[in-house]
Amino acid sequence: MALALEMGVNSFDTANIYGKGSSEEVLGKALQQVSRDRIVLASKVHVSMEDSNPNARGNSRKHILDQVHQSLKRLGTDFLDIYYIHRPSTTIPIDETLRALDDLIRLDMVRYIGTSSFAAWQVMESLWVSKEYGLNRFVVEQSPYHLLDRSLEKELLPMAQSYGMGVLSWSPLAGGFLTGKYQRNQPRPSGSRFESAEGDWNSKHLVDPAFDMVEKLQVLARQKGCTLTQLNLAWCIQQAGMTGAVIGARTLTQLQDQLGAMCCRFSAEDLQHIDEISRPGQVVVPYHLADAFADFRPHQFRW
């Protein structure tokens, strides 16, 4: 089990140490201070990098090759340990995407490849194509997984276990909701990620069943002598089939708190109690396959 630190808009702030720049540029400066072989470095490709340029987005060969060169330049390194396809797309045949990634592996610019927020059937299709064409296959998937949405347990986790894929949870704390910082019928804390968020955040998260669950988990956390953050992260990374979780701490205090999850252990009684609070497979706040950013339609083009 592992925790992976994400460098992004809402993640750990190193700008005061390494100066301003994109998250990859800042991380690249930090990497100069450590031994590269001790780091598992990952990046993603898919999102639009230039709104006015239709070629600067998606899962096409052109976009993948263009962006890996740019990422390596910003990071100041020769290779990525993992390169993720950030979201599925039906506008590009999966074999085109896999052939481009396979070329990057053969050129030693990328060591392993993965997916993010793919449906189980989309991952399976990619494994089939890789086998049919003799291409390097995806070895890890990033999906949302936490006690407010356990739907991953129905298909994706059993599939990943069956075919030897790693699984990392993104947003394992449900955007910070599972830290307990948001209180029922109270203003959102100043400086929090969703201090001024409206609409979707309110309708999805700030609901009584979600608050009920947090309050019950808080009692268990106090009994175990850990924080609510640590309890939720520890549960996530210790579940069968899970490899780890992607954390997005913004301060050193948050990072230290989250790393404490590595020391949290559960008894059989603890796990049974958690299952009573959050039933296996249950969805209280939908995350998995509830992302308008991802494309889950039938493919427009066959491979």
CA–CA distance, 212 with 137 (Å, rounded to integer): 41
DSSP-assigned beta bridge partners for residue 116: 142
Residue whose C-alpha is closest to residue 274's, from 225, 227, 236 = 236
The token pair at 195 is 């201090």
- Contact between 201 and 182 (Cβ < 8 Å): no
CA–CA distance, 248 with 254 (Å, rounded to integer): 9
Radius of gyration of the chain (CA): 20
CA–CA distance, 263 with 66 (Å, rounded to integer): 41
Catalytic residue among 18, 84, 145, 163: 18
Pairing relationship of beta strands 80-85 and 110-116 according to DSSP bridges: parallel
The question of whether 18 is a catalytic residue gets the answer yes
The token pair at 15 is 């700008």
CA–CA distance, 122 with 127 (Å, rounded to integer): 9
Alpha helices in the chain (DSSP H): 15-18, 23-31, 61-75, 94-106, 120-133, 156-162, 200-205, 208-224, 228-237, 252-259, 268-277
**Catalytic residue list:** 18
